[in-house]
């Protein structure tokens, strides 16, 4: 086996020869195994769901997904049918005849891939026997009281059984099986222990122990090489899970992970350097009209403005046309997701805007689900007051319009005293009085169950961001995922993101980071960090990420205070932009979406499949090993036009949104820039490899 080495003979096109010559997919069967096939738990579901179309287009009828059977998911997502492939059909029939319940069908998503689903509960009677088999295979015991690990053992045992039946009837076809995360890893371990003729890939999206350590607020990246791994796993009572994950990593022919930062983590936590880095992508859909995403931004921004009008009624003394909407969204992990550093930066941003007497206001949304009782009464009242005022204005407008219409038909210029009578003035005065209130606008939209100990609310109290009139930064915690059926903010997440100006995700632990990637695809600038996979990917592929609306905070080599200051400067620089500069920046951000399309990123998975075939079947798929391709082949250039962010071309204080610079028109040619970017994206990618022998840099700070 060609351990730790990569393949390639470089062709004239700049791609390795195996890249230029596609795999003979008609002679192969590809299986992807994950607990999140048709079963949404976390981000892996998004990876598999969005990648399915690209993979199905390439592999056709020879691509299958393997996952668990849950009736409520299958009823709404799967169209059951009979397998067309002989080997798969015989494997399904054989297992069903031996007391299992295996379901087959098409997953109703883009690409409609085939799925093989195992009913875990139906086969649970085999658990004790399969525990013995697993012990004989790798000497790892699973406690009886860890139900999740027991379920994973059943799932893995069924997967290994199924793959054996497939290989027995494959008629000369070679089988590739890719396993995602430790939950699917038991199937890989058992397949290798039984010497099944399959090529295996194991992909970790985040190490199990890494998640636990970061959740405990430990100085993780600065002590990666100092942890006693066995001790840390044992103290958290996950030692058996850690052993399952580590055994999966070392049994696989090829080990991959999703980002460079996770590759460094995996090398220390799992004691194997990843062979290939496979970044996560999205299905990017381009609008036929070039600037349609700008129109969507304007439309959804107006809906957010309506919510803000109601939420801040009685205190709406700021101009909504000069108001920017920032947001952070994701799991409620206060430190891991960077909510702590974000709040501290908002306090400093508020000071800067007030000190410079800025007329720009930033309204910041925290979309992080937490335990609540229900909607906050004061928040609901605000929306009711806004709607009532809107209805009053409309009724008066109709009355006013009718009187004006009649007067003009008579050829008269109407007297305003005739159009607005005493009753109308009384109604307007009552409407004004109804919008007055003594209390401050609430900082949360719901009644929090743990109000006194909630990390976000506790920090807001400490830094004093209570939505006072003098504050230029307003904060709104929305502790629920967004929904178009909400009586408060009736918008889906995608609509809300499109309506905002900036997504802020200063994460400390983020193996990839789908939230900033989704912002990029929608043309919304975002803040990320060099400790997130997305941030590292953008640093590698874009010469000047900031010019393209990707602000990367250094949380790895800076102290916490320096990182906080850097984030504050990013936010303050964004507030200084004119409306035109923000439009230019959104155009550039949206053009980066091609970088995140599975049609491009899928080639990293192709590389992993080539590599695993050459290691599992060296006689059939032998390729000459060489040094890895250079990691610098592709980079978006720095735009030649005026930079849209903090640069020296801007004034020292924030500009009004309608301020324009005459010289900017001469320096910015959007079509020329766009065409250059389109040409650049067609340049050959260099394949990402895990960092080799990278020494730990001193001076890294826990941040």
Number of neighbours of residue 389 by Cβ within 10 angstroms: 17
* pLDDT surpasses 70 at 692: no
The SS3 call for residue 237 is: coil
pLDDT-derived band at 638, boundaries 50, 70, 90:
low
Q: Tell me, what's the pLDDT at 438?
A: 84
Tokens coding 107: 């997953």
| Contacts by residues 483-489 (CB-CB < 8 Å, ≥ 24 positions apart) | 487/375, 487/380, 487/383, 488/307, 488/375, 488/379, 488/380, 488/383, 488/445, 489/304, 489/307, 489/445
Percent of the chain's residues with pLDDT above 70: 85
Per-residue pLDDT, averaged over 648-669, amounts to: 46
Q: How far is CA 605 from CA 261, 359, 624, in A?
A: 18, 49, 19
Taken in order of first residue, the domains within the chain and their CATH numbers are 29-59+120-277 (3.40.50.2000), 297-376+442-593 (3.40.50.2000)
* pLDDT surpasses 50 at 211: yes
Greater confidence, 545 or 702? 545
Q: How far is CA 646 from CA 100, 321, 570, 651, in A?
A: 62, 21, 7, 9
* pLDDT surpasses 90 at 405: no
- For 134-183, what is each residue's pLDDT tens digit? 999 999 999 999 999 999 999 999 999 999 999 999 988 999 999 999 99
pLDDT-derived band at 430, boundaries 50, 70, 90:
confident
Contact 456, 337 (CB under 8 A): no
For the chain, what is the mean pLDDT?
A: 86
Greater confidence, 545 or 680? 545
Tokens coding 388: 């009532």
* pLDDT surpasses 70 at 362: yes
Greater confidence, 593 or 475? 475
Residues near 160 by beta carbon (within 8 Å), at least 6 away in sequence: 186, 187, 190, 191, 194, 196
Tokens coding 677: 């970017």
- For 8-43, what is each residue's pLDDT tens digit? 322 223 334 444 457 788 899 999 999 999 998 888
Per-residue pLDDT, averaged over 61-89, amounts to: 95
Q: How far is CA 482 from CA 66, 338, 455, 479, in A?
A: 31, 20, 21, 9
Per-position DSSP letters for 620-665, written without gaps between them: TS---EEPPPPS-S--BPPPSS--SSSSTTS-SSPPPTT---HHHH
Angle at CA 93, nearest 5°, toward 92 and 94?
95
Q: Tell me, what's the pLDDT at 250?
A: 97
Pairing status of strand 198-204 against strand 254-257: parallel
Contact 374, 446 (CB under 8 A): yes
Q: Tell me, what's the pLDDT at 667?
A: 56
- For 225-250, what is each residue's pLDDT tens digit? 999 999 999 999 999 999 999 999 99
Q: Tell me, what's the pLDDT at 289?
A: 58
- For 312-345, what is each residue's pLDDT tens digit? 998 998 999 999 999 999 989 999 999 999 999 9
- For 589-601, what is each residue's pLDDT tens digit? 999 998 999 998 9
* pLDDT surpasses 80 at 659: no
Residue with the two structure tokens 């497939």: 166
Tokens coding 91: 């494997």
Tokens coding 597: 């399309």
Chain centroid to Cα 374, Å, comes to: 27
Per-residue pLDDT, averaged over 37-55, amounts to: 92
Q: Is 310 exposed, middle or buried (0-12, 13-18, 19+ CB in 10 A)?
A: buried
Residues near 464 by beta carbon (within 8 Å), at least 6 away in sequence: 347
Tokens coding 102: 């295996």
Tokens coding 342: 């974000």
Q: Tell me, what's the pLDDT at 640?
A: 59
Q: Tell me, what's the pLDDT at 334?
A: 93
Residue with the two structure tokens 């590292």: 536
- For 555-612, what is each residue's pLDDT tens digit? 999 999 999 999 999 999 999 999 999 999 999 999 999 899 999 899 999 999 999 9
Tokens coding 703: 């941040």
174-180 β-sheet, strand order:
78-80, 102-107, 114-118, 63-68, 28-33, 174-180, 198-204, 254-257, 276-277
pLDDT-derived band at 627, boundaries 50, 70, 90:
very low
> Residue 255: enclosing H or E segment and its boundaries?
strand 254-257
Return d(Cα 189, Cα 479) in angstroms, integer: 40
Contact 374, 590 (CB under 8 A): no
pLDDT-derived band at 653, boundaries 50, 70, 90:
very low
Residues near 125 by beta carbon (within 8 Å), at least 6 away in sequence: none
Residues near 574 by beta carbon (within 8 Å), at least 6 away in sequence: 324, 501, 502, 525, 551, 645
Supply the Cα-derived Rg of the chain in whole angstroms. Answer: 29
Percent of the chain's residues with pLDDT above 90: 69
Q: Tell me, what's the pLDDT at 415?
A: 79
pLDDT-derived band at 290, boundaries 50, 70, 90:
low
Q: How far is CA 44 from CA 35, 156, 214, 255, in A?
A: 9, 17, 19, 17
The SS3 call for residue 563 is: helix
Q: Tell me, what's the pLDDT at 10?
A: 29
* pLDDT surpasses 90 at 666: no
Per-residue pLDDT, averaged over 650-658, amounts to: 45
pLDDT-derived band at 673, boundaries 50, 70, 90:
confident
Return d(Cα 401, Cα 422) in angstroms, integer: 17
Q: Which residue spans within 331-445 are E strands per DSSP? A: 361-367, 372-375
């Amino acid at each position: 086996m060609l351990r730790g080495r990569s393949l390639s003979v470089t062709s004239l096109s700049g791609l390795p020869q195996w890249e230029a010559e596609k795999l003979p997919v008609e002679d192969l069967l590809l299986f992807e195994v994950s607990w999140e096939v048709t079963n949404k738990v976390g981000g892996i579901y998004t990876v598999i769901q969005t990648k399915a179309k690209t993979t199905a287009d390439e592999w056709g009828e020879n691509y299958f997904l393997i996952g668990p059977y849950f009736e409520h998911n299958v009823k709404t997502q799967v169209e059951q049918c009979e397998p067309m492939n002989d080997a798969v059909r015989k494997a399904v029939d054989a297992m069903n005849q031996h007391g299992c319940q295996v379901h087959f069908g098409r997953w109703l998503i883009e690409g409609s891939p085939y799925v093989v689903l195992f009913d875990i509960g139906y086969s649970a009677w085999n658990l004790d026997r399969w525990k013995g088999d697993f012990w004989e295979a790798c000497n790892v015991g699973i406690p009886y009281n860890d139900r999740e690990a027991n379920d994973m053992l059943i799932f893995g045992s069924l997967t290994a059984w199924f793959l054996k039946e497939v290989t027995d009837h494959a008629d000369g076809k070679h089988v590739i099986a890719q396993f995602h995360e430790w939950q699917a890893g038991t199937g890989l371990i058992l397949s290798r222990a039984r010497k099944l003729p399959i090529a295996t890939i194991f992909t970790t999206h985040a190490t199990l122990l890494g998640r636990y350590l970061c959740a405990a607020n430990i100085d993780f990246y600065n002590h990666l090489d100092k942890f006693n791994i066995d001790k840390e796993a044992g103290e958290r009572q996950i030692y058996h899970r850690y052993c399952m994950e580590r055994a999966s990593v070392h049994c696989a022919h090829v080990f991959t992970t999703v980002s460079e930062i996770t590759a460094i983590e995996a090398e220390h936590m799992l004691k194997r350097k990843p062979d290939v880095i496979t970044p996560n992508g999205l299905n990017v859909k381009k609008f036929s009209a070039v600037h349609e995403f700008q129109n969507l931004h304007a439309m959804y921004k107006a809906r957010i403005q309506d919510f803000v009008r109601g939420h801040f009624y009685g205190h709406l003394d700021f101009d909504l046309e000069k108001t920017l909407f920032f947001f952070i969204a994701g799991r409620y992990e206060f430190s891991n997701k960077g909510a702590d550093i974000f709040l501290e930066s908002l306090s400093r941003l508020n000071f800067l805007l007030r000190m410079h007497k800025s007329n720009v206001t930033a309204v910041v949304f925290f979309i992080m689900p937490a335990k609540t009782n229900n909607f906050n009464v004061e928040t609901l009242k605000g929306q009711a007051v806004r709607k009532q005022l809107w209805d009053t204005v409309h009724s008066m407008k109709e009355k006013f319009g009718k009187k004006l219409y009649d007067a003009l038909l008579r050829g008269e210029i109407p007297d305003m005293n005739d159009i607005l009578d005493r009753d109308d003035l009384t109604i307007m005065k009552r409407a004004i009085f109804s919008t007055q209130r003594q209390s401050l606008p609430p900082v949360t939209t719901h009644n929090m169950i743990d109000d006194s100990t909630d990390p976000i609310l506790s920090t807001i109290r400490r830094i004093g961001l209570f939505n006072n009139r003098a504050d230029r930064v307003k904060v709104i915690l929305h502790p629920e995922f967004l929904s178009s059926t909400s009586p408060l903010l009736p918008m889906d997440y995608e609509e809300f993101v499109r309506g905002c100006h900036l997504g802020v995700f200063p994460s400390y632990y983020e193996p990839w980071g789908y939230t900033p990637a989704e912002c990029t695809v929608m043309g919304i600038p975002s803040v990320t960090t060099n400790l997130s996979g997305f941030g590292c990917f953008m640093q590698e592929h874009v010469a000047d990420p900031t010019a393209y609306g990707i602000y990367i905070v250094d949380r790895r080599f800076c102290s916490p205070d320096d990182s906080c200051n850097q984030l504050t400067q990013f936010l303050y620089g964004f507030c200084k932009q004119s409306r035109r500069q923000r439009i230019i920046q959104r155009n550039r951000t949206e053009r980066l979406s091609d970088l995140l399309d599975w049609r491009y990123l899928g080639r990293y998975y192709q590389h992993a499949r080539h590599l695993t075939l050459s290691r599992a079947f060296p006689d059939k798929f032998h390729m000459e090993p060489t040094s890895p391709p250079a990691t610098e082949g592709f980079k978006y250039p720095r735009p030649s036009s005026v930079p849209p962010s903090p640069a020296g071309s801007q004034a020292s204080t924030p500009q009004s949104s309608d301020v324009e610079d005459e010289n900017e028109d001469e320096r910015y040619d959007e079509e020329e820039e766009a065409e250059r970017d389109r040409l650049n994206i067609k340049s050959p990618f260099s394949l990402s490899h895990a960092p080799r022998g990278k020494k730990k840099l001193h001076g890294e700070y826990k941040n």
